[in-house]
Every structure is written in C-alpha cells, then in structure tokens.
Structure 1
Amino acid sequence: MSTEEDVRRIATALPETTERTSYGTPAFYVAGRIFARLHEEPGVLVCWRADTDERQALLDADPEKFFTTDHYRGHAGVLVRLGRVDADELSELLAEAWQARAPKRLRRPPG
C-alpha cells in the first residue's frame, strides 16, 4: 500500500523534478512537463505513460490497480489506486512516467 506522501518522496527524488499545483492538487514536473499528479479523488494518482498502448497494457493487466475515466480517453495517463500498489511498484511507475516526459538530455538508458 502506497500513500500520497510516498508519491511525493519518490517523485521529488527523480532528477530535476519540481512540485507545483495542477487542477488544485500536487503535481510533479520534469523540465516543465508534468509526469504525475495526485487526482482529486483521494488515494488516486494520475501517472503518465510513454503512449496509450503502454497505458492499455496496464489497464488490461490489473484493473484493480489501474483504471481510467472518460476524461482521460485518448490520453497516455493511467489512474493508479495507491492502496493497491506497494512502494517498489510505485517507484517503477513514477520512474517510467518521468522517463516518458523528461527531455533526452536527462534520460538515462535503462539498466
């Protein structure tokens, strides 16, 4: 189980990440591009993916953890139920979101 504080701790540890508000909730940016934000619904994270295929793979793999709404139709972001992911999985999701949005100069090759 992860919390909003886990999101903040993990996200702000990523290179050149800043926190500011988006849609009235805390959001995390790299080089001015949002990669994650806490949703208006408590315990839910909006987390960017590289593309909609990657998002769909998560939705198909575990609908108890990942979901979407009509608002995000066609969007590469996925909604994550924080209570259903542990800190390791949250770290991986946020790192991937950061990689998807960070400029090339900041990205490191995987591994």
Structure 2
Amino acid sequence: MTPAELHTLVLAFPETETGTTHGWPSFKAAGKFFTRLRPEDDSVVVYVDSEDHRDMLMEAEPETFHVTDHYRGYPIVLARLATVDPVWLRGALEKRWLKLVPKRVSKASTGA
C-alpha cells in the first residue's frame, strides 16, 4: 500500500478529513483523531481491541506490526504500509471509525 492509497482509503469513510494532531498531519473522523501516517517508518497508527491483540499481531507478523515506546500502554499497533494487508487495515480502520462518528452517520453508511 502506498501513502496515496492510504489517503484514499481513509478519506472514503464519511465525515473523515485531514488535520493535525500534536503538530503532525493526521486524519480525523467527526473531528476526533482517527489515524496518521508516520513518515519516519512508513507505518500507519491503528487502534486495535486491546494491548493483548496488539501483542499477538506483532508476534504473528513482526515484519508488518510493531510499536514504539510512545504507543505502549495503549491499544495501538503500528502497521508498515509496505506489508500490511489492505483488507485487514480497512476492517481495523472501520472499527475505529464506528467508535468515533455519530450513530446517525454510521447507520446511514452501513445501512444498520
């Protein structure tokens, strides 16, 4: 996946836009932090279900998933764009997006 493909994927979610978080370019959904691309290691910041889930991902696919000290203590994994499965990434981002946007938006988008 390229940064341009990530940009397209993220902005396909309704009410998602580019912005900044702590001075870094990021993506926001409904005005809240959604994800960002880390240019220092070409990884995308992805919220997961738990720290245990993150650790399992890192153990199963260390060439794709990693974490830095900054993200320890949070249910966040860093996924390298070059090797991340786009289907997995879209699903993980959708879970995060559903937690951020108002119910009316998620219901209209998913048809639920």
TM-score normalised by length of structure 1:
0.78
- Given that residues 15 and 101 in structure 2 are in contact (C-alpha distance below 8 angstroms), is that contact kept between their aligned partners in structure 1? no
1:35 paired with 2:54, answer no
The structure-2 alpha-carbon separation of the partners of 1:54 and 1:101, relative to structure 1 and needing over 3 Å to count, comes to farther
RCO (CA 8 Å, sep 6+): is it higher in 1 or 2? 1
SS in structure 2 at match of 1:5:
helix
Structure-2 separation of matches of 1:55 and 1:96: 15
Give the gaps of 5 or more residues in structure 2: none
- Tell me which residue corresponds to 2:5: 6
Give the letter for the 2:61 counterpart: D
Report deviation, 1:80: 0.6
Choose between structure 1 and 2: higher helix proportion: 2
Aligned match of 1:83: 82
Which protein shows a greater Rg? 2
Q: How many residues align?
A: 110
- Quote the Cα distance in structure 2 between the aligned partners of 1:8 and 1:101: 18
Deviations 1:43-89 (A, max 9, x none): 11111224334333322332221110111111122101110024333
Instruction: Provide structure 1 residue ranges, at least 5 long, that are not aligned to the other structure.
Output: none
For 1:20-99, list aligned pairs within 5 A.
20-99=19-98
Identical-pair percentage? 38
1:71 and 1:5 map into 2 onto residues whose CA distance is 25
Moved more, 16-25 or 64-73: 16-25
TM-score normalised to the size of structure 2? 0.78
The structural deviation recorded for 1:90 is 2.8
How far apart are residue 40 of structure 1 and its match?
3.8
Letter in 2 for 1:37: R
> Runs ≥4 in structure 1, deviation > 6 angstroms?
none
Q: Over aligned residue pairs, what C-alpha RMSD do you find?
A: 2.5
- SS of the residue corresponding to residue 99 of structure 1 reads helix
Q: Distance in 2 between matches of 1:71 and 1:64?
A: 19
